[in-house]
């Protein structure tokens, strides 16, 4: 069993904001595969079977800074190991339309991943970082809660085709295999 978590903030005010790339990646995959979301442990989730492996796609509804509170409940309920979890979230240090798969590391100032690291008690959390660029003239919080331009949305929609393939491959590939297959395809 695998748990794939897309990070974001719930509510209409946050739809299509830069901080909600994780939600959007999960929604894109769910729509493409006609999956229906249910509610559990303060999260929206859906399930799919890929290559014989059960996959749970999760969008915590705890707001970004408390994402780990939802993740740890699913993690414990399904008795998962760290290698079974992939977190998808926004990264200001990468250009829009780029991504990077990463094994572990620090939170780099991202409060959602920071809370997940604290709840799971490990920095060895697998990640799929989606680039949202940055603007040094706008405070970081205002920037990540801002919306994408039409041009950037087009780049993201193309990227979500790739993230959907990564989700499927995570069902049977190791993180090293995923990094080898996909990281060279991004211009991060």
CA angle 83, 119, 163 (to 5 degrees): 45
Task: Count how many Cα atoms sit within 13 Å of the Cα of residue 23 in the half-sphere of its side chain.
Answer: 23
Residues with catalytic function: 19
Query: How far is it, in rounded angstroms, from Cα 90 to Cα 6?
Result: 9
Which strand (E) or helix (H) includes residue 32? helix 21-32
């Amino acid at each position: 069993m695998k748990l794939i978590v897309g990070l974001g903030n719930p509510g209409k005010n946050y739809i299509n904001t830069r901080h909600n790339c994780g939600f959007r990646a999960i929604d894109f995959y769910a729509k493409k595969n006609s999956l229906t979301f249910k509610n559990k442990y303060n999260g929206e989730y859906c399930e799919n079977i890929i290559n014989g492996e059960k996959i749970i796609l999760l969008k915590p509804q705890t707001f970004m800074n408390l994402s780990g509170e939802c993740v740890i409940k699913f993690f414990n309920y399904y008795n998962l190991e760290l290698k079974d979890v992939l977190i998808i979230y926004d990264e200001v240090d990468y250009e829009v339309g780029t991504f990077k798969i990463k094994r572990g590391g620090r939170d780099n100032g991202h409060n959602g991943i920071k809370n997940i690291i604290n709840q799971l008690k490990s920095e060895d959390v697998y990640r799929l970082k989606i680039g949202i660029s940055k603007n040094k003239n706008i405070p970081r919080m205002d920037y990540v809660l801002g919306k994408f331009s039409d041009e950037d949305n087009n780049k993201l929609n193309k990227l979500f085709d790739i993230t959907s393939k990564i989700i499927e491959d995570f069902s049977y590939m190791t993180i090293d295999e995923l990094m080898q297959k996909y990281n060279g395809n991004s211009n991060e």
